[in-house]
Amino acid sequence: MNLQNKVAIVTGGGAGIGRAIALDLASHGAEVIVVDRRESDTVIDEIKIMGRRALAVQADVAVFAQAQNAVAAATANFGRLDILINNAGINRDGVVWKMTEEQWDAVIDVNLKGCFNFIRAAAPVFKEQASGKIVNITSINGLRGKFGQANYAASKAGLIGLTKTVARELGKFNVNVNAVAPGMIETEMAQAMPQEAKDNALTETVLGRLGQPEDVARVVTFLCSDAARHITGEVIKVDGGQYI
């Protein structure tokens, strides 16, 4: 999969799935802008070792203006933008009768509004150049729901609707818009979850193992390549059969 001369933004690219995506895109030739609230110099250094250009942008995806600024920084520094990966996400779990307004708003603002913010910023660029790839990282829990995750599941379900709508709107401009729905992946977020939740996920997974960030990254890279040029509006599960 050749991504030479392609420029990609990866939100939440400083760690976990986002880091794996940024590195995998770079390994196939892409130049990468890593957007994260945290310092992401380590990922940038790894990309530069591959001989690719990279830029770190500190931003809160939930803030509309910061998304606009991040996309502007990409085009200013690299002259174009070809790929947008909306990966940034958080969880604030709790059963619905105890969930606070803050827990609800925080998750919706990052996981759903944050994706809209970046799509809104990138869409005019993609329209103008009549090409682009958008991949949104949703979750199998956005497809099925999950006890204790009303906010998270709702945000990820909303992201699926956003994906399909934007695929319809941007298709005539030669822009592919897809979503990847991981199951339980061994990341920092997963490590912070109760052991019982991880054990239950492992029991659900028919392959008998939890996924690794690289499992998701490889599917994302495929969707960003010409090999997937006739795929749009799809949701691809990467879950080892956990959803079955």
Tens of pLDDT along 22-40?
999 999 999 999 999 988 8
Which of 8, 1, 55 minimizes the C-alpha distance to 30? 8
- Asked if 82 contacts 134 with a C-beta cutoff of 8 angstroms, the reply is no
pLDDT digits (tens, 9 = 90+) for 137-161: 999 999 999 999 999 999 999 999 9
Residue 193 has pLDDT above 90, yes or no: no
Which phi and psi (to 5°) does residue 130 adopt? Answer: 55, 45
CATH topology of domain 7-238: Rossmann fold (3.40.50)
Residue 55 has pLDDT above 80, yes or no: yes
Query: Residue 3 has what pLDDT?
Result: 98
**Which residues belong to the active site?**
152
Number of neighbours of residue 152 by Cβ within 10 angstroms: 23
Domain boundaries, given as residue ranges, for the chain: 7-238
Mean of per-residue pLDDT scores for the chain: 96
